[in-house]
Amino acid sequence: MPLITTKPMFDLAYGGGFAVGAFNINNMELAQAIIDACAKESSPVILQISRGARKYANMRYLKHIIDAAVEEHPDLPIAIHLDHGDTVELVKTCVNDGFTSVMIDGSHHPYDENVKVTAEAVKVAHASGVVVEAELGMLGGIEEDVVGMDAHEYEKNVQKFLTDPQQAKDFAARTGCDSLAVAIGTSHGAYKFKQEAKLAFDRIEQIMKTCPGLPLVMHGSSSVPQEFIDLVNKYGGNMPNARGVPEEQISKAVRSYGVCKVNIDTDLRLAMTAKIREVFATKPAEFDPRNYLGPAREAITSMVRRKLQVLNSAGKAQQVNQHWEKLGKPVPSFYKSGRAA
Ligand code: G3H
Ligand code: 13P
Ligand code: ZN
């Protein structure tokens, strides 16, 4: 099957007690590891590409890596998604590059400007059968290319930054977005909180009520498992005070509160870094990249398999495929024109 949009995935995830994992790719090893994990767990997956990833890897290379993944795993439902797109121009470029889903992140703009840029992005993407994720509210944490806020400042004022349920209703109606990234207490990066994380479950519930049928997305959902931080630090790293969202809270947001898409990048970076550091520290004579990138790739695969259990998406691939067929096998026009279908 060709790359598909997230629609058949979210149709089932909504009310189905599972979420689709959206994992960031920047190179071949990350893509292979994620796809390998999803094939082993029979899970639908969203591969997401940030502006930083486009710059780092060159979209042509990423495109061919993804095509190879589709050829290797023809039965795996895979969507390719722009993560944190900032302009309508970039959305257009990604639609032409064969993305099946795009995010337009206007959350740092004043509300009316967010509505305007999102509605424009929706118009452009929908014209080609591509779906759109938008964002409303403000997340904490800082990553290269993602607008965010210092963890401490964020925590002190978190209530003020959470997504407003009534505004979400107005926003969804005025923009026509297909899914909505919401601020409900998660945060980007490895240093999310000074205190224990506490997701605003009541806020998810309220947004679900004001926006029935709209799939909700949780960014900043890495758990920053302590055992990986310990490994990084043991083998020469320096990551004091790293902290994430406990997996039980992610699982609860998905299984009991209906979140449909969960974004995870930091935990994959941690798994990769911990393993490479371990090889360098324990085998100082090693200099063949295959002998540290190979184990790193395996560590990422294990991390993704663990996440697919947390998200309860393991074993859902076939259902998604069947639903996609029932919908009439919809694909963006890029694929209808003959390429990759
Ligand atoms: O939320 C952002 C993702 O982790 C991507 O990060 O912009 O450094 O590629 P990046
Ligand atoms: P983490 O930094 O928690 O992995 O979040 C990634 C993300 O939200 C990508 O959009
Ligand atoms: Zn994000």
> Which residues fall inside 5 Å of ion ligand 3, going by CB?
219, 263
Q: What is the 167 CA–ligand 1 centroid distance (Å)?
A: 26
Computed from CA positions of residues 36, 41, 47, 53, in that sequence, does the dihedral angle turn out positive or negative?
Answer: negative
* DSSP bridge pairs for 264: 23
Nearest to 147 by CA among 176, 108, 109: 108
Long-range CB contact pairs, 143-150, < 8 A, 24+: 143/188, 143/189, 144/52, 145/50, 145/51, 145/52, 145/84, 146/50, 146/84, 146/188, 147/105, 147/107, 147/108, 148/187, 148/188, 148/189
Closest C-alpha residue for ligand 1 atom 9 = 52
User: Which ligand does the CA of 21 lie closest to?
Assistant: 2
Question: For residue 140, what are its two tokens?
Answer: 């904490």
Q: Please tell me the predicted confidence (pLDDT) of residue 99.
A: 98
Question: For residue 99, what are its two tokens?
Answer: 């993305």
Distance CA 108, CA 12 (A): 31
CB 219 within 8 A of CB 133: no
Distance CA 298, CA 32 (A): 10
- Please compute, for residue 92, the number of CA atoms within 13 A of its CA located in the half-sphere on the CB side: 7
Distance CA 23, CA 221 (A): 11
Give the pairing of strands 261-264 and 20-24.
Answer: parallel
- Please compute, for residue 224, the number of CA atoms within 13 A of its CA located in the half-sphere on the CB side: 19
Instruction: Give this prediction's pTM.
Output: 0.96
Pocket lining: 153 vs ligand 1, CB cutoff 6 Å: no
Question: For residue 222, what are its two tokens?
Answer: 């890495």
Q: Please tell me the predicted confidence (pLDDT) of residue 145.
A: 67
Q: Please tell me the predicted confidence (pLDDT) of residue 195.
A: 87
Q: Which residues are catalytic?
A: 83
Distance CA 23, CA 81 (A): 10
CB 214 within 8 A of CB 234: no
Pocket lining: 26 vs ligand 2, CB cutoff 6 Å: no
Q: Please tell me the predicted confidence (pLDDT) of residue 341.
A: 46
Closest C-alpha residue for ligand 1 atom 3 = 265
Distance CA 313, CA 136 (A): 25
> How far is residue 307 CA from its own chain's centroid?
12
Question: For residue 67, what are its two tokens?
Answer: 């095509």
Closest C-alpha residue for ligand 1 atom 4 = 265
157 CB-near residues (< 8 Å, 6+ apart): none
283 CB-near residues (< 8 Å, 6+ apart): 291
Q: Please tell me the predicted confidence (pLDDT) of residue 163.
A: 97
Q: What is the 128 CA–ligand 1 centroid distance (Å)?
A: 26
Burial of 85 from C-beta contacts in 10 A (0-12 / 13-18 / 19+): buried
Pocket lining: 82 vs ligand 1, CB cutoff 6 Å: no
State which residues of the chain have pLDDT below 50: 341
Pocket lining: 83 vs ligand 2, CB cutoff 6 Å: yes
